[in-house]
Amino acid sequence: MLKGFIFIFLFFFSYLSFAQVTAADCINAVNICQNATFSIDPNGPGFVADFQSGSVSNPSTNPASSNSGCLLSGELNPTWMIINVAGTGTLEFSLGQDNSIGCYDWIMWPYSATACTQIFNNQLSPIRCNWNGLCEGFTGISTPPPAGGEQNNFEPELNVIVGQQYLLCLSNYSSQTTNLPLNFFGTANISCNPVLPITVNSSTICPGQSATLTANAPGATAFSWSPGGQTTSSITISPNSTTAYTCTATGPGVNGGTTTGVASGTVTVLSANSAQCACTTTASNNGPICEGGNFNLTTTAVPVGSYSWTLNGAQVGNTQTLNSMPASSAGTYTFNVTATDGVGNVCTSSTLVTILPLPVVSAGPDVSICNGNSVILSGSGALTYQWNNGIQNGISFIPVQNQSYTVTGTDQNNCIGSDQVTVNLLYAQIPSITASSILGCVPMSVSFTNSNPSSTDCSWTFGNGNSFQGCVGASTTYNQLGCFDVTLQSTDSQGCDTIVTFNDIVCTEESIASFYPSPGIIGASNSTVSFFNTSEGAVSYQWFFGDGESSITPEPVHTYSTSLQTGYIATLVTTSQAGCTDTISSPIQYEEQIIFYVPNCFTPDADEHNQIFQPIFNSGFSAEQWKMSIYNRWGELIFESVDHNRGWDGSFGGEGGVVQGGIYSWVIRYKPPNNDEKVVVSGFVNVLR
């Protein structure tokens, strides 16, 4: 597809406007709405190649159905459109009409201010697309397809909400010149202009009260209310009778224009004699509350009300709700509230607050233990217990330092008490060891010495599966590769056990020789090989290239002589820091150069020139495993040959039918003579008639 060389003007018509526009590029996309008809140009590539085939923005796999992928042939003669959702529902539409002709491929993405840039940079995945393989001139989104529509020409319906926008690109693959119908028939309402989502709340009040209405319109920059003419997002009004208020919100559109949304809310004014407007109030609290906590008092509202709370005749507050009242001491307390509404009616209520006593919790006496030993802490005086520092009540644990622990006890009323206990650690003398050798090759024998003469009851673990009982004469042999931890457990004169692990105190090593040549095959066109060293554990290297030459470079580059037309054996010898060695070899194969030629067109027109499409393979391939396949536009196999000397004469089928002129794809598979690699080459041939 050639892009960027042709300037094209596309004429786009909707039922609202018939102005001439240019819509062959994404940035020039135009709004489209119900039952529009627009003209399409058979050769309008636009100024920009917005996307490529087989990419994130135009994948070869359909994102919503089992139909063919998106625009497999790329962006051909495009028309770019914007769909604006004005009402939540299902989005369904059709392009073209039944019993017509034309290959109308299309692709659709979510639309935003950055959508065109994301598509161009291969960053935005489509949500619907269709490669109009049957070329019946009738395609779109519908579940099920509309009357006359084929399943492989229509994609599943899309659930949308008000305010959403979608970008639709139509590709006129077959270069039709026509006025193309575009019909929307889903439950979602489609607007010719961008739509701004908006909601407005409603309210119920008594006579003389005020209500606040708020317009919720994300992205809006201006508001207009009717009646009243206010220009803020929220208004406070006090109507004398039930009144509906309408808000119109506007904001910037993603394509430089503006969006508009309209919604209404109603303020219902009750009768003055309504039960909701009489003076009645009921006091309540969130008790019972534990001593030392806080409680809340509240009473039901009266119209335009004032409130007075008292305890034992003393005022404690003058609002409808009193929060965070202190529960200072256990007992029961009666709080009274007097409410006065806006017309002078007075009503009273009371509520009983119960303050519960806290449980007396004990953590037990302080304890002293040897470092590394376990201890059990248990609380008493409550129903359940929670300790700090990650320990559990009645479960043994091993302290790591002198520390105080706090237990929180909860009784049957969910009241909480606490206490503290201290655990003191008795520390034994920390043992230390020395090893006769700390680095060597496998197998490696090592003896260990305990430098603490006061140690008794010594138990050794060497990290290799072996152990030893005794404070002197500890030794073992390491037959495995790696570094090993040695653990010594002993008892001091106080009777405290100590266990210490000396991490990686002994290490054994080996060198593992490993490399790969690149390339691993030499021939007439290439005789230089780079050797990539992937060895492990080595500090020095010795290379033998198989042709009498050598090197000590870690990753050498060597040039072989190809005059003998034979391969070589390359060998690497590695040595570790401790003197451990390893050897590995790899063949360097010799291979003939592949030489072939494939023409890009031929003319099977019964004259004496250029009648056969004949690829020519001269060397570097196995003739017994050579195969050529020819395919048409729809991927159908029309010719196949396993003989590299047999070409294609432009026919297909068993009865010698001839193909039409045009572009056909070819695939050739072959195997080189010296390995089992499968090589596939492909391309296109133009049949000229």
**533 has a pLDDT exceeding 60:** yes
**CATH code matching the domain that covers 278-356, chosen among 3.40.50.720, 4.10.80.400, 3.30.460.80, 2.60.40.10:** 2.60.40.10
Residue-by-residue DSSP string for 427-459: PPPPP-EEES-SEEESSEEEEEEE--TT-EEEE
Q: What is the pLDDT of residues 426-473, one digit of tens each?
A: 887 788 899 998 888 888 899 999 888 778 889 999 999 999 999 888
Q: What pLDDT does 254 receive?
A: 66
Q: What is the mean pLDDT of residues 191-200?
A: 84
For 85, list phi and psi in degrees, rounded to 5.
Answer: -90, 115
Q: 607 Cβ partners below 8 Å, 6+ apart?
A: none
Mean pLDDT of the chain, nearest integer: 87
Q: For residues 490 and 499, what is the distance between their CA atoms, to the nearest angstrom?
A: 6
Nearest to 669, CA basis, from 684, 659, 680, 658 = 680
Fold of 515-590: Immunoglobulin-like (2.60.40)
Q: What is the mean pLDDT of residues 559-572?
A: 89
**CATH code matching the domain that covers 595-687, chosen among 2.60.40.1220, 3.40.50.920, 2.40.320.10, 3.30.479.30:** 2.60.40.1220
Say whether the peptide bond before residue 63 is cis (omega within 30 degrees of 0): no
438 with 507: CB under 8 angstroms? Answer: yes
515 with 532: CB under 8 angstroms? Answer: yes
Indicate left, alpha or beta for 413 from its phi (over 0: left) and psi (-120 to 50: alpha). Answer: alpha
Strand 346-356 to 367-370 pairing: unpaired
Q: Which residue has the tokens 């320990």?
A: 391
Among the residue ranges 175-184, 317-326, 336-345, 670-679, the one predicted with the least confidence is 670-679
Q: What is the pLDDT of residues 170-184, one digit of tens each?
A: 999 888 888 889 999
For 623, list phi and psi in degrees, rounded to 5.
Answer: -65, -25
Q: What is the pLDDT of residues 629-660, one digit of tens each?
A: 999 988 889 989 888 888 888 888 766 678 88
Q: What pLDDT does 617 receive?
A: 79
Compare 178 and 5 and report the one with higher pLDDT: 178
Fold of 26-191: Jelly Rolls (2.60.120)
Nearest to 160, CA basis, from 122, 108, 221, 115 = 108
Nearest to 688, CA basis, from 665, 660, 668 = 660
One-letter amino acid at 586 equals: S
Q: What is the mean pLDDT of residues 344-353?
A: 86
309 with 322: CB under 8 angstroms? Answer: yes
**5 has a pLDDT exceeding 60:** no
241 with 177: CB under 8 angstroms? Answer: no
Q: What pLDDT does 12 receive?
A: 31
Lay out the sheet containing 557-559: strands in order across: 515-518, 528-533, 557-559
One-letter amino acid at 581 equals: T
**41 has a pLDDT exceeding 80:** no
Give the CA dihedral 29, 32, 38, 41, nearest 10 degrees. 20
Give the CA dihedral 380, 382, 383, 389, nearest 10 degrees. -70
Q: Which CATH superfamily is 367-426 part of?
A: Immunoglobulins (2.60.40.10)
Q: 579 Cβ partners below 8 Å, 6+ apart?
A: 441
Q: For residues 667 and 682, what is the distance between their CA atoms, to the nearest angstrom?
A: 4
Q: What is the mean pLDDT of residues 109-127?
A: 93
Q: What is the mean pLDDT of residues 266-283?
A: 79
